[in-house]
């Protein structure tokens, strides 16, 4: 299978790309890091040009599996004026890009009667996160889009699901941690399992969702959050 993973140069995306079986097509902005893969596409998915570049790459390489992992987190307290630049950046990267790439991947998947799409969302899109309203909005939008798209493609052998990680041991997780007024120990104490999720846990779930055995899973929003979404 031809598997395309956005944001594959580090963190969750890197773990996913390194642990899936198939021909991996890695996507990111840092070409030096992407050179670790045989197949890669350098583009900035926060821009229309970058989206178009990757859309053309998807069509050219007949992608069977699309993993929308690339994303950004920027603190955005609603009590202060939100930067229009930050608003556009997160909307483009976290929501517009996945939707556009899905639209480019679906025709081939539909024609061959098989396709798998996995979106990496966030528990913040399920529960909401104070001081991160834009981020929460983009991830919530991704969950809604997943459900709608699943209905459109269900009869063609194409599935689409969203994984919503809680706190994850990655650079992005640490960056969002630094944006909070709480220490890591304080945050961990509020997680039922008292730990952050490891990237490999997300990779393993992706591996199952793209398998033929998971054909009955579609339109689902799956919380992989060490119990964070259950309550405290």
| Strand order from edge to edge, sheet including 2-6 | 39-42, 23-28, 2-6, 65-68, 115-120, 158-165, 221-224
Q: Is the dihedral of CA 146, 94, 201, 59 positive or negative?
A: positive
CA dihedral 164, 65, 21, 42 (to 10 degrees): -90
Task: Collect contacts of 79-83 with beta carbons under 8 A, ≥24 apart.
Answer: 82/133, 82/134
3-state secondary structure of 141: helix
What whole-number distance in Å separates Cα of residue 156 and Cα of residue 112?
Answer: 8
CB atoms within 10 A of CB 112: 13
190: Cα within 13 Å, side-chain hemisphere: 10
Distant-in-sequence, close-in-space partners of 131: CB < 8 Å, separation ≥ 6: 75, 76, 77, 179, 180
The active-site residue, picked from 135, 156, 208, 232, is 135
Q: Is 208 assigned a catalytic role?
A: no
Helices (H) and strands (E) in the chain, counts: 10, 7
Asked if residue 7 lies in contact with residue 15, where contact means CB atoms within 8 angstroms, the answer is: no
User: What are the catalytic residues?
Assistant: 135
């Amino acid at each position: 299978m031809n598997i395309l993973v956005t944001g594959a140069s580090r963190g969750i995306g890197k773990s996913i790309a390194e642990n899936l079986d198939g021909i991996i097509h890695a996507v990111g902005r840092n070409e030096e890091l992407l050179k670790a893969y045989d197949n890669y596409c350098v583009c900035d998915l926060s821009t229309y040009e970058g989206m178009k570049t990757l859309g053309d790459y998807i069509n050219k390489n007949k992608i069977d599996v699309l993993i929308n992992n690339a994303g950004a987190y920027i603190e955005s307290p609603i009590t202060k004026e939100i930067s229009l630049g930050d608003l556009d950046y997160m909307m483009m990267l976290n929501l517009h890009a996945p939707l556009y790439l899905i639209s480019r991947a679906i025709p081939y998947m539909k024609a061959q009667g098989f396709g798998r799409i996995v979106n990496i969302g966030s528990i913040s899109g399920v529960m909401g996160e104070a001081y991160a309203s834009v981020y929460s909005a983009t991830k919530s939008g991704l969950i809604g889009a997943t459900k709608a798209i699943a209905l459109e493609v269900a009869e063609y052998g194409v599935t689409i699901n969203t994984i919503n990680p809680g706190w994850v041991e990655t650079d992005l997780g640490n960056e969002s941690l630094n944006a909070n007024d709480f220490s890591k120990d304080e945050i961990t104490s509020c997680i039922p399992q008292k730990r952050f999720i490891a990237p490999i846990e997300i990779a393993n779930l992706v591996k199952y969702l793209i398998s033929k055995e998971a054909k009955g899973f579609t339109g689902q929003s799956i919380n992989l959050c060490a119990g964070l979404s259950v309550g405290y």
